[in-house]
Amino acid sequence: MRYDLVIFDNDGVLVDSEPIAHRILSGYLTELGYPTTLEESYRDFLGNAGHNVHDVVMQRYQGRLPEDFEARCHERVFAAFRSELAASAGAEELLRVLEQRNQPYCLASSSAHQWIRLCLDLAGLRAYLADDRVFSAQDVGVGKPAPDLFLHAAKSMGVAPDRCLVIEDSPNGVLAARAAGMDVYGYTALTDPAKLTASGATGLITRLSEVSALTTAPTA
């Protein structure tokens, strides 16, 4: 099938931010008295909106995070991003190819616009993703696994949901895309392929370069 729009997740797909962010998050939670390993952070928070951290701390530890937790955590993460963040392997080349083919694409992330803009700037991808191609859960008031963000992105880009291909690295992202009626390929760089398949992924990719072939398949 030839798709009219490719929708990319940001963290863990276009930018290699997840290892940095989860290292900082797990360390900060542990520092606050809520012991969290890196593996647990990936398991519990990958692909989730920020409020989920508060929910997990409440449910697991009957604890409450400081009111400024998110702001302080972001400060630490952003500082690490400025010295460590890079584009995911093959991301810039893929976006360049899609541009050359006039293949419409956009980004849809549960992260806030401030986070997304910083990531794109530091990773050198901003030239490929102007503001009118970037969509955040802030725009719809709810993050993944709700389908709202993907539906909003498709509508804004003028494409029917069933003509969209989503590239996601988290089970929640896969669930959101499927709920929106879109095909979704799970990117397995950080996530157990079985979890992506169990969430309903249409297929799996191990490298971003594989997206190029998916967008040139003949019309079904």
C-beta separation of 25 from 115 below 8 A: no
Give the gyration radius of the chain's Cα atoms. Answer: 17
The 10s digit of each residue's pLDDT in 10-22 is 999 999 999 999 9
pLDDT for residue 219 is more than 50: no
Q: How far apart are the first and last CA of the chain?
A: 5
Verify cis geometry, omega within 30 degrees of 0, for the bond prior to 218.
Answer: no
User: Among 8, 24, 209, 22, which residue's Cα sits nearest to residue 125?
Assistant: 8
The 10s digit of each residue's pLDDT in 25-64 is 999 999 999 999 999 998 888 876 667 899 899 999 999 9
Give the distance from CA 209 to its chain's centroid: 17
Domains of the chain: 5-16+86-214 (3.40.50.1000), 18-84 (1.10.150.240)
**130: Cβ–Cβ under 8 A, 6 or more apart, which residues?**
none
Q: Predicted confidence band at 179 (pLDDT cuts at 50, 70, 90)?
A: very high
pTM for the structure as a whole: 0.91
Long-range contacts of residues 23-32, Cβ cutoff 8 Å, at least 24 apart: 23/80, 24/73, 24/76, 24/77, 24/80, 25/53, 25/73, 25/77, 28/69, 28/72, 28/73, 28/76, 29/53, 29/57, 32/65, 32/66, 32/69
Residue 154's CB is within 10 A of a number of other CB atoms, namely: 26
